[in-house]
Structure 1
Amino acid sequence: MKTTETIIMITYLVFCIVLGLLSQRRISSSNQGIDDYYAAGRNIGTGMNSLAMLAALGSGGSFMAIVGTTWNLGLPFLAWMVVGSCVGFPIASILVAKPLRSSKKITVSEFINDRYQGSNFFKVAIPIIIIIGSSMYLMSQMKAGGLMTSYVTGLEYKWGLIIISFVFIFYVSMGGMLAVTWTNILQGFLLTILTIILVVGGIINLPISWPEFLVNASNVNPSLGVAGATVPIAGYIGAFVTWATAVCVTPHLIMRVFTASNIRSAKLSLNISMLFFAVLMISTILVMVPYIPTLGEDILKNNPSDMWMLFIAEGFFGKILMGIIAAGVLAAVMSSTDALLLAISSSVAYDLYKGVFKPEANRSQILKVSLISTWVIGLFIMILTLNPPTFLIVLYTAAVGLMVSSFFGPVVLGIWWKRANNLGASIGLLSGSISFMILFLFFELPYNSEILISLPISLLSMLIVSSLSKRPSEEVISRLESYH
């Protein structure tokens, strides 16, 4: 066991649990419990929301696995993915930030239902897709959390996973979006500072000049910088498209728009997050990846590539700083995990339970169902993650691809095209989700390229069906205009 690192990590986890309990106390005494639980009271300022958005996007894949994944899948693949993520923030600020914040809704599902007059199909289909997609994404984050806990405690992966999963589930179920926001602000700050520390440590410890060091790494791994060497070009384009469109519709990211204090703050938060994310990711890749050949064959063969960055950092820092870095990497994992758990529980409790099965449900009933669903789904995903996926980044990008293929047309066309109607949006959502899952499960396509087929199918289906079917009512069009 790494005693110092373990103590620091436990201290951080206890702090997060205390935040969850404090949030629960505030929500219990609040007259606006639902807004506090799912939208953090809609009063998060620009700076704090920017850090929270950065933390929500910055996951175990982004800040822990990106170094090893770059080595295995190549710099061009990760470059397209990171650039797509950066492009996604300004696209979301232009296309959806103002209408979504103006709508005063709490979830993506609620917004779509309001835009298309509460279709029973949407009330059931949207939460199911969110639960499936977010669960796929959540598996990758729980794996990262299990690996990190195993790294610092010396326990087997399965016990590390169980311990950290219980912590995640507990504090999210207690405090909802308020707890998630408070911890995400801390996590965003930690991610920024610790990434800077890692990059500076890498620069200080360079054995030779950086250009020579990078060339040496390329000689050891000739496919590192060659486009198409590890992943076909279609995979690059698919990864770019997935993340360029993700911020517009992915529930755990777009929920941060609903928490913003106003429209201007929502837009600024998206763009500030983009700048920070770009700098952190690019600098981490360029500085840390060349160190991989220095780890030695034993470490590279006997440890998952998602952990290689930790072993590189061990060569730079002592136990105390490594403990802080471990807490920071865990913060990256937690920042996505908690938001995903909340997105899943809101789909079950708010969208399915209240929206379909019991519209008259009161605040306490909704929160109770949310708490139960957080535990049931969280534990179920934990069990699935006992046999983890190979690459964290590939799995969670596929999860995002499913949600984009399903929701991008209904949300974005629904905001900007008055002719979009219930039938067209239903066909668009159905065709996008089904085609993506068929391609993902039954066809041997390049990583993350399914969206290049499923998203056009969804958009074309919605455009054609909406154009040929009944125009939306004046009431719907008037509501749409009010969003702008």
Structure 2
Amino acid sequence: MNTWSLILIVGTLLIYFTIAIVMHVADPDDFYVAGRTIPATVNGAAVAADWMSAASFISLAGLISILGFDGAIYLLGWTGGYVVLALLIAPYLRKYGQYTIPDFIGDRYYSNTARGVAALATLFVSLTYIAGQMRGVGIVLSRFLGVNITLGIIVALGLVALIGVIGGMKAITWTQAVQYTVLITAFLIVTVAISLNLTGNPFPQAALVTSDIATRLSQLQADIQMGRYIVPFREYTQWQVFAIALTLMIGTAGLPHVIMRFYTVPSASDARLSAGYALFFIALLYLSAPVLAIFAKFNLIQTLNGTPVSQARSIPWVQRWSETGLLTIQDKNGDGVIQMTQGLTSQASEVVLDPDIIVLSTPEVAGLAPIVIGLVAAGGLAAALSTADGLLIAMSSAVSHDIYYKIFRQDATERERLIVARIVILIAAVVAAYLGINPPGFVAEVVAIAFGIAAASLFPPILLGVFDQRMNKEGAIAGLLVGLSFTLIMVILMTADAVLGFQEPIVTTFLGLEKQSVGLIGAVLNFAVALTVSRVTPAPPEEIAEMVEEIRLPRGSADVATTAVDGGFETDGGERRRETN
């Protein structure tokens, strides 16, 4: 066990728990939206940590390493989606106010049925997403602390749940800001360190341009019959690349736990500002991930290819990662020498590794200092826990606020609502732990599935709710049900081996799309059904059309006192709300 890993992991966990104790809350407004008092810079860091997750820290560079040029589509899809979210969604929903996405959908479509279906979609998205985060937690703790994966997930998720129960969104926001600091520091340090190690240049992006390492990697792969690294459409077809990118983009703009973050700032202008800060914070990692991917793969091939099998198996980092079951070295042809001709994930290869260990193993492969290894472990854990924090509060809000309070118990006291919210966090944590122990794929793959579910369910009614005054409750509900049902059915069929225990998936593709992009078809169905049904059913009430117009207008984003108005609406800094029956 790396002593630095133990110190940094345990130390950061204690910091997160301390923040929860200091930020404990007893008011629903503090619990759900941090009292709308979070500064834009802090919220930007929290948004970045909430959104990037273990998929960005642990899996993104691994995907680009394994897939080469085609892997960059995950980077483009996720970052492009954030721009869509920042420009077309976040400012308008913050101006509207309230607590959650189902809140907006329920009020905008004047229907508790729409609210309930949106809350259900939030649960499906969040549970799928959190499975990927918990897999990341398990990998980090099992490798760097020698903890059993199951025990590690239970302990880590128990801490996350405790933070949510004690401090709600207020504690989670400040915790995520700290977690962002940890993860970005770790990621940048390891990228700079390996850049120095391989090129002598401390500026990774500049090193990639001024050195020929990308060309050397591509030629090295060609020499060992692994395929050129920088050739496009080698792993995915053009149709798949387009579908994955678009699914990730619109899925990002429908993520409930990320959109909720923009409710925590004082005004719509702060929402726009925090979106800008978040984009900067995200860019720090995303501009470094492709560079780290190239450096890491080059270093890995240089270290292992052509090395005697017995010698490779005696390398300390190989021994440690082999113990986790995420790295396997076999002498397939019996010549006693490693030949990496089949890639790194094919079972026919003499070196088979999980894409999720590329980033985490890089400091050890490069022979970096133990403190860097420990820092990367703490960063990976911070990335996973930060998103798990947000997902638990999103699920809690969907059940306690949107279902229990808004639909079934509108006379519930604040104390009752908070009790239900905290119980839901604990229940969601138990379900999340199970999914983390039995995930339907590697981290980025599971996260991509969650994005697909969000794209097929929540994104269309949010976008149409802001920009289409004619959209009514009948259209929104029909579209939500069709998009969500189709995507869930396809995902289950495509992951039947992992989810249902089958020997293999029942369906592998639909119209040429795999599980990480089939949500695009669900989104198209959602849009088509919603628009069609809304045009053949009665128009929404005039007051709804007025609400939509006011949300879109730039006026009224300044902070003013909340006052009641006729028709059940109220304003708060230009925000409008309407209680549904």
The answer to whether the 8 A contact 1:60-1:329 is kept is yes
Equivalent in 51, 60, 85 of residue 66 of structure 1: 60
Q: Distance in 1 between matches of 2:214 and 2:234?
A: 21
- Kept in 2: contact 1:69–1:391 (CA 8 A): no
Residue of 285, 292, 297 corresponding to 2:300: 292
Give the Å deviation of 1:14: 1.1
Post-superposition CA distance 1:26-72 (Å, at most 9, x none): x13xxxx1121111111222221211111011111110122332233
**1:202-235 alpha-carbon deviations (Å, 9 max, x no partner):** 2101168523443355335316433333233333
Pairing 1:36–2:51 present:
no
Aligned to 2:328, what secondary structure does the other structure show? helix
1:440-466, CA deviations, whole angstroms, 9 ceiling, x for partnerless residues? 233322332212311111111111111
Distance 2:521 2:439 in 1: 27
Shift of 1:188: 1.7
CA 1:22–1:344: 2 relative to 1, 3 Å: same
The correspondence for 1:358, drawn from 409, 414, 418, is: 409
Aligned residue in 2 for 1:83: 76
TM-score under structure 2 normalisation? 0.78
1:226-305 matches, cutoff 5 A: 226-289=231-294, 290=297, 291-294=299-302, 296=304, 299=318, 300-301=327-328, 304-305=354-355
- Displacement, 1:89? 2.4
SS at match of 2:258: helix
Q: Which amino acid aligns with 1:55?
A: A
> Residue type of the partner of 2:124?
I
Structure 1 residue 251 displacement after superposition: 0.6
Residue 51 of structure 1: SS of its match in structure 2?
helix
Kept in 1, the 8 Å contact 2:64–2:293? The answer is no
Asked if 1:131 corresponds to 2:123, the answer is yes
Of 396, 402, 426, 1:345 maps to 396
Partner residue of 1:379 out of 412, 415, 430: 430
Amino acid aligned to 2:8: I
**Correspondences of 1:80-159 after superposition (within 5 Å):** 80-117=73-110, 119-159=111-151
Q: Which residue of 1 aligns with 2:50?
A: 56
Counterpart-to-counterpart distance in 1, 2:435 and 2:381? 20
Q: TM-score, normalised by structure 1?
A: 0.93
Matched, 1:415 2:466: yes
Residue 277 (structure 1) shift: 2.1
Alpha-carbon distance in structure 1 between the residues aligned to 2:517 and 2:133: 22
1:215 to 215, 218, 236: 218
Distance 1:217 1:368, change over 3 A: farther
Percentage of matched positions with identical amino acids:
27
Q: Distance in 2 between matches of 1:233 and 1:269?
A: 35
Contact 1:98/1:483 (<8 A) preserved: no
Cα pair distance change 1:294/1:189, threshold 3 Å: same
Please state whether the residue corresponding to 1:328 is helix, strand or coil. Answer: helix
Q: Indicate whether 1:462 and 2:556 are aligned.
A: no
The 8 Å contact of residues 133 and 436 in structure 2, kept in 1 or not, is answered as no
Cα drift, residue 285 of structure 1: 2.2
CA distance in 2, matches of 1:452, 1:404: 7
Amino acid of the structure 1 residue aligned with 2:176: N
Change (3 A) 1:470 1:385: same
Q: Deviations over 1:375-410 (max 9, x none)?
A: 112112212322233321111111121122111221
Task: State the SS of the aligned residue for 1:229.
Answer: coil
Provide the rounded CA distance (Å) in 2 between the counterparts of 1:454 and 1:482. 30
Letter in 2 for 1:260: V
CA displacement 1:400-421 (0-9 Å, x = unmatched): 2112211122111111111000
The answer to whether the 8 Å contact 2:81/2:250 transfers is yes
- State the number of aligned residues: 476
Counterpart position of 1:318: 369
Please give the alpha-carbon distance, in whole angstroms, between the structure 1 residues aligned to 2:220 and 2:465.
48
1:418-440 C-alpha deviation (Å, 9 max, x unpaired): 10000011111111111212322
Gaps of 5+ in 2: 200-210, 305-311, 319-326, 330-352, 494-506, 553-581
Partner of 1:189: 181
Return 362-371 or 212-221, whichever deviates more: 212-221
Q: Which residue in 2 is equivalent to 1:4? A: 4
Displacement after TM superposition at 1:279 (Å): 4.2
Matched letter for residue 157 of structure 1: I
Q: Post-superposition shift, 1:309?
A: 1.7
Check conservation: 1:190, 1:331, Cα contact below 8 A.
yes
Match of 1:173 among 144, 155, 165: 165
Structure 2 distance, partners of 1:400, 1:212, is 33
1:59–1:336 contact (8 Å) kept in structure 2 = yes
The SS at the match of 1:249 is coil
Quick one: distance in 1 between partners of 2:83 and 2:293? Answer: 28
Distance 1:373 1:401, change over 3 A: same
Question: 1:333 maps to which residue?
Answer: 384
Match for 1:388: what amino acid?
P
Is the deviation greater in 206-215 or in 258-267?
206-215
TM-superposed CA distance for 1:342, in Å, is 0.9
What runs of 5+ residues in structure 1 fail to find an aligned partner?
Answer: none
SS in 2 for 1:385: helix
For the residues of structure 2 that align with 1:292 and 1:342, how far apart are their CA atoms?
39
Q: Which residue in 2 is equivalent to 1:46?
A: 40
- The residue identity in structure 1 corresponding to 2:449 is A
CA distance in 2, matches of 1:162, 1:213: 43
Provide the rounded CA distance (Å) in 2 between the counterparts of 1:333 and 1:292: 25
Q: Secondary structure at the match of 1:228?
A: coil
Deviation of the 1:470 alpha carbon: 0.4
Q: Could you say which structure has the larger radius of gyration?
A: 2
Residues 150 and 160, structure 1, Cα contact 8 Å, conserved in 2 = yes
CA contact (8 A) 1:56 1:253 kept: yes
Which amino acid letter does the alignment assign opposite residue 161 of structure 1? I
Cα 1:440–1:383 change in 2 (3 A) is closer
Give distance in 1, aligned partners of 2:237 and 2:391. 30
Conserved? CA contact 1:424–1:461, under 8 Å: yes
* Distance across 1 between alignment mates of 2:551 and 2:532: 24
